[in-house]
């Protein structure tokens, strides 16, 4: 069974940064690596489900023309809206995935520290929704903490293996460390040098 919404509500009950996204060098470095593996300087549209308090969202916002974020916890949604107040093109919604998926097409979908909270069936449905909403040249980025998390139905390895199998898209970037997995898949699959005419 996927982790229920009250779990996340409790995390944010007395803490506006329960994972210390702002304080920990680990988190700041991981965000920098996440942004660095993106092969395009700018995207027309980005969807970031499970945005938490909007720390990564605020760094994705300058890289796109339209940003849609969502979280299942109402407190997280309020925090993310505040964090993104300076970006008129960013929108934050409260929704639970995979059931409540936004309309529209996305050039990039960012699944950061989200998918191990979903069981295999819900993750399979999320992947189907992602594939249906990606543009013809769309990309999907996934980043997940490797150690097992108590109460989570899946590990990072299980999540990334299922993503790789079901997406059936070209793997463009793989950055795997002891602490986390970071992967980028793309429908068009050209390298940055190729896109810039260097190859």
User: How far is residue 45's CA from residue 37's CA, in Å, rounded to a whole number?
Assistant: 17
User: How far is residue 97's CA from residue 119's CA, in Å, rounded to a whole number?
Assistant: 12
Q: Residue 54 is part of a domain; what is its CATH number?
A: 3.40.50.150
Range of the domain at 25: 5-195
Q: What is the pLDDT along the chain (199 residues), one digit of tens a residue?
A: 577 777 777 867 777 776 678 889 999 999 999 999 999 999 999 999 999 999 999 999 999 999 999 999 999 999 999 999 999 999 999 999 999 999 999 999 999 999 999 999 999 999 999 999 999 999 999 999 999 998 899 999 999 999 999 999 999 999 999 999 999 999 997 888 888 888 8
**Which region, left, alpha or beta, applies to residue 197 given φ > 0 means left and ψ of -120 to 50 means alpha?**
left
Write down the pTM of the prediction: 0.94
| Digit-coded pLDDT (tens) for 16-33 | 776 678 889 999 999 999
Question: Are 13 and 75 spatial neighbours (Cβ–Cβ below 8 Å)?
Answer: yes
Q: Domain total for the chain?
A: 1
């Amino acid at each position: 069974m996927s982790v229920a919404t009250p779990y996340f509500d409790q995390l944010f009950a007395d803490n506006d940064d329960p994972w210390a996204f702002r304080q920990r060098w680990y988190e700041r470095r991981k965000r920098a690596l996440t942004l660095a593996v993106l092969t395009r300087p700018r995207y027309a549209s980005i969807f970031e489900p499970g945005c938490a308090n909007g720390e990564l969202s605020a760094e994705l916002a300058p890289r796109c023309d339209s940003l849609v974020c969502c979280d299942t916890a109402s407190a997280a949604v309020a925090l993310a809206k505040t964090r993104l107040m300076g970006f008129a093109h960013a929108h934050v919604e409260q929704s639970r995935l995979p059931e409540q998926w936004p309309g529209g097409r996305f050039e990039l979908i960012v699944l950061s520290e989200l998918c191990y909270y979903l069981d295999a069936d819900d993750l399979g449905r999320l992947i189907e929704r992602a594939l249906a909403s990606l543009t013809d040249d769309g990309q999907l980025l996934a980043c997940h903490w490797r150690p097992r998390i108590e109460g989570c139905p899946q590990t990072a390895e299980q999540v990334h293996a299922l993503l790789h199998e079901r997406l059936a898209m070209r793997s463009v970037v793989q950055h795997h460390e002891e602490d986390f997995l970071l992967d980028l898949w793309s429908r068009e699959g050209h390298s940055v040098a190729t896109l810039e005419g260097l190859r």
